[in-house]
Structure 1
């Protein structure tokens, strides 16, 4: 059987980031603001659970979509990491790319509608260098988050102080990156090695699963990730519970928080029916219902990331 033809990436024309119009600038990044007092009681509850998790040395995991980086709340998250309130930060490939570009040039995000028209979307030389760090990490046997985080922390990145990946490397806190092949713009580039991409992200998945093993009495938070976070957490929890049960332990008593823009009913302790479009909003059925069905508790807060993450930060610092 003849193999199908493969796309020749050598023919791609790649331009410099200096030629790109950026939709977000460094001015997007918010400074820490402790003055506001409009703290939702749900944030007070989850803040209490996070503080307890720290005292009990249980895991406090924060999972996020790429838009969290674009919301400019990095300093709030880094402060929580520095104070020991986050055990692991999990992001998708888009989050890694936005974090990297912010650290490198103080700007990120391009207009898909504009650049897809002439086939230039995602094809920027400096962003593609992320693949080089991933390939190097593959050879060294480390995960994707550590590989890119170390490169930012040790390299000539003018804005590395706002990098979540660099902060994780500096503090020894796992920042795990969970990618799907073909999802991210760096996969368009000739220097993308599928084996390296898969292996380093899988290592991060195993790091993540290990942290989930310590989730009893802990907290799992999801900010704006509709697919990656609930799916990765679901599999990691199954693995962790499988091993825990063999040793007479359980992973049931933990709290989940979902912050998103979906309209959920006041009672969300039961998943919607399959005839309801909300059934396909994975954070509801996975994080708010199924994974806490044996004794955990779930919370949902509707709001934009630039509001919810600072509110969480203020609630924790208020205790």
Structure 2
């Protein structure tokens, strides 16, 4: 026989006072009114102390604290960061001593190099792919592969090899090159390439052993910086979905393997237009699961990265007053 059910009686339901209930949002966290046309610090302080606005401020504070404590701040960049026109901002932070190192994937190094040569980069892949001419620009392939071979002979890293070459040939748009800026300022710019993953690998002058040699030197250089990350270092992954998250995780593991002290209590950040598996796991979550802070902030590079970097500059200036 099937059991019959009746609507429940609510008279015995337990309740509690509103004041006793824990809450996630309170009015003191709300956006604050600020003047029309505020300065950047006024704008930042007016943001709600909620969700990603809170995280953005936390990232700014972490970078500022790292700078003041002389801990490394390393930015990993994919090619899209260069193509979004953000090189001048990154170079400004390098010049002012806020950034300790740059890690690039191979694509970012190509866009950086081309910008220095002619002030333009980024071809229409679909338009050239059918003819087999995608990535076959002569000057880019010849000059970069030549620089990498020379760098390998001198036991230089890939990033330093390219930066040195650009300074030697002094192209008309050199001021836009992060690679050249790193060489001039003595700030490590490392390049982490996957053989066959970049257009210059298709050129007659490509040398696999030179690519591997120089990129491996850069992997070891990045690892040495990460060994100083304990108690305040910051790593930002900007726009690399695969290569740099993998490289960062291995470099961190190697640093911990070799270090005589624990490498903990640092901050990691992933900023991208979409959140992907590897950056979330290899940058944000796994490295900081014991101790530290990991943040993921989603948005278009050409808006979010200038906001972050200018906020850091504004905060540092405010602190110095």
Judge same fold: TM > 0.5, yes or no: yes
Q: Tell me which residue corresponds to 2:299.
A: 303
Query: How far apart are the structure 2 equivalents of 1:106 and 1:35?
Result: 32
Query: How far apart are the structure 2 equivalents of 1:52 and 1:312?
Result: 15
Cα deviation 1:137-167 (Å, max 9, x = unaligned)? 0011101100101111231310000100011
Query: How far apart are the structure 1 equivalents of 2:177 and 2:197?
Result: 22
Question: Is 2:181 aligned against 1:167?
Answer: yes
Q: Tell me which residue corresponds to 1:272.
A: none
Question: Is 2:198 aligned against 1:202?
Answer: no
The aligned runs of 1:229-248 (5 Å cut-off) are 229-244=244-259, 247=260
Compare relative contact order (CA 8 Å, sep 6+) and give the higher one, 1 or 2: 1
Q: Tell me which residue corresponds to 1:134.
A: 148
* Regions of 4+ moved over 3 Å: 34-41
CA contact (8 A) 1:62 1:221 kept: yes
The aligned runs of 1:133-282 (5 Å cut-off) are 133-216=147-230, 217-244=232-259, 247=260, 249-262=261-274, 281-282=277-278
How far the C-alpha of 1:35 sits from its partner, in A, is 5.9
Q: Secondary structure at the match of 2:205?
A: coil
Q: Secondary structure at the match of 1:222?
A: strand
Q: Tell me which residue corresponds to 1:4.
A: none
Q: Secondary structure at the match of 2:191?
A: strand
Q: Secondary structure at the match of 1:68?
A: helix
Query: How far apart are the structure 1 equivalents of 2:57 and 2:310?
Result: 9
Runs of 5+ consecutive residues of structure 1 not aligned to the other structure? 1-33, 264-277
Larger Rg: 2
The size of the alignment, in residue pairs, is 267
Q: Secondary structure at the match of 2:136?
A: coil
How far the C-alpha of 1:312 sits from its partner, in A, is 1.2
Q: Secondary structure at the match of 1:182?
A: coil
- 88, 92, 111: which is aligned to 1:79? 92
How far the C-alpha of 1:200 sits from its partner, in A, is 0.3
Question: Is 2:270 aligned against 1:313?
Answer: no
Query: How far apart are the structure 2 equivalents of 1:56 and 1:36?
Result: 24
Query: How far apart are the structure 2 equivalents of 1:48 and 1:170?
Result: 28
Q: Tell me which residue corresponds to 2:28.
A: none
How far the C-alpha of 1:36 sits from its partner, in A, is 5.5
How far the C-alpha of 1:242 sits from its partner, in A, is 1.1
